[in-house]
Structure 1
Amino acid sequence: MKSLILYDSMGGNTALVAETIEKALGARAMATDLVKVDKDLDIDVFDYDLVFIGSPVIDWLPTKPLMDFVKRKMKAYARQGVVKPSSPLLPGKFGVSFGTFAGPHIGEKEALPMTMWLNSFLEHLGYAALDQWLVVGRHHHNKEINLSGRLGNIEDRPNAADLAVVEHKVGGLVDSLSAWCA
């Protein structure tokens, strides 16, 4: 099973999560590509069986570079006839969306639309979107939010405990897929 971790990161929080996913996949000897999106990225998502796609939350959505990539790929795949009506599931294709958020307003609820948007992309391609993972990260532009937001003190987030949860989730996911796909 070949995996892709496609992400964008602005302050480093999401990069830490993406690198943790890569480390956990590597520990299970999975072939993995870790790719930070940019405006010129041309990668075929269908080359991968397991896709992790993630971003920091910006106004309830992914970053503009990641959204632009998704829109570009959707148009290209539609032109190629790969995106099918009713989005039938493709055997052996799975995905997980992930994101980081600082929670200056309403916390995790504010992040859910972003991961749902990314899961919709995966599902339109025929991937089974298995989960959406959200991780608290420090706010890089407003120290007050780090200390007094709804989530309490998030200065050191994502921390070792947060990243250990991500590693555990990756392990459980890979073990489940290995058993299910055997």
Structure 2
Amino acid sequence: MNTAVIFDSLGGNTGRVALAIRETVERHDLPCAVVKVNGETEFNFFDYDLVFIGSPVIDWLPTRRIMDFVKNRMTAYNRGGLIKPASPLIPGKFGVCFGTFAGPHIGEREARPMTMWLDSFLGHLGFSVLDHWHVPGAFSDPAKEAMNRCGRLGDIRNRPNDNDLADIGNRVAGILSHLEAWSPPGREPV
């Protein structure tokens, strides 16, 4: 199963989650490309069977960098005729959307619009989105450090922590196990 993790990270939290995903995929003897987006990122989602896409939450949405990347991919795929009316699912193409959030105000609810935005993109491509993961992550900016202790989540100064990353590893392992048994008609298991 050809797997990739596409992400943006500002303070390093989302990068830590992306690396935890990669480590788990590679422990299952599968290749895993890891790409942190920038202004010149070239990436073909259709080359992969399983794509994890993530970002920190900024004002309920992904970072501007990942939004620009997604919009550029969408434009290119539209021009290439790969975006179909009614977005039919492509057998064997799966995705997971993930994000890190500090949540000093309303907690995880701030992260949900961001992963839904990424979900919509994958859905337009024809990928079956299997899950959305929201991981608390502390602000690394010293000017915002006090907000790490005052939200609905309580003290998140050291998050994502080892337990958060182990949870991500368990979730990845569960998805890989599930997909191992899956195969579209006329094709070997993914």
**TM-score using structure 2 length:** 0.94
Shift of 1:25: 0.2
> Runs of 4+ in structure 1 displaced over 2 angstroms?
none
Aligned to 1:160: 162
Aligned to 1:133: 133
Aligned to 1:108: 108
Aligned to 1:25: 25
Cα shift readout 1:25-62 (whole Å, capped 9, x = no counterpart): 00001111000000101111111010000000000000
| Aligned counterparts of 1:162 and 1:35: Cα–Cα separation in 2 | 21
Q: Which residue identity does 1:95 align to in structure 2?
A: G
| Aligned counterparts of 1:13 and 1:94: Cα–Cα separation in 2 | 24
Aligned residues: 182
Deviates more, 1:140-149 or 1:37-46: 140-149
Q: Percent identity?
A: 54
Aligned to 1:6: 6
Q: Which residue identity does 1:64 align to in structure 2?
A: R
Q: Which residue identity does 2:48 align to in structure 1?
A: Y
| Aligned counterparts of 2:89 and 2:174: Cα–Cα separation in 1 | 22
Shift of 1:110: 0.6
| Aligned counterparts of 1:148 and 1:115: Cα–Cα separation in 2 | 24
Q: Give 1:76-115 correspondences, 5 Å limit.
A: 76-115=76-115
| Aligned-residue RMSD, C-alpha | 0.7
Cα shift readout 1:57-110 (whole Å, capped 9, x = no counterpart): 000000001000000000110000000000000010000000000001101001
SS in 2 for 1:139: coil
Which of these residues, 171, 174, 180, is aligned with residue 172 of structure 1?
Answer: 174
Aligned to 1:37: 37
| Aligned counterparts of 1:180 and 1:47: Cα–Cα separation in 2 | 18
Contact 2:7–2:14 under 8 Å retained in 1:
yes
| Aligned counterparts of 1:106 and 1:149: Cα–Cα separation in 2 | 7
**TM-score using structure 1 length:** 0.98
SS in 2 for 1:33: strand
Mark the runs of 5 or more structure 1 residues left unpaired by the alignment: none
SS in 2 for 1:41: coil
| Aligned counterparts of 1:55 and 1:76: Cα–Cα separation in 2 | 21
Q: Which residue identity does 1:158 align to in structure 2?
A: P
Shift of 1:148: 1.8
| Aligned counterparts of 2:130 and 2:119: Cα–Cα separation in 1 | 9
Deviates more, 1:148-157 or 1:5-14: 148-157
Q: Which residue identity does 1:51 align to in structure 2?
A: V
Aligned to 2:186: none
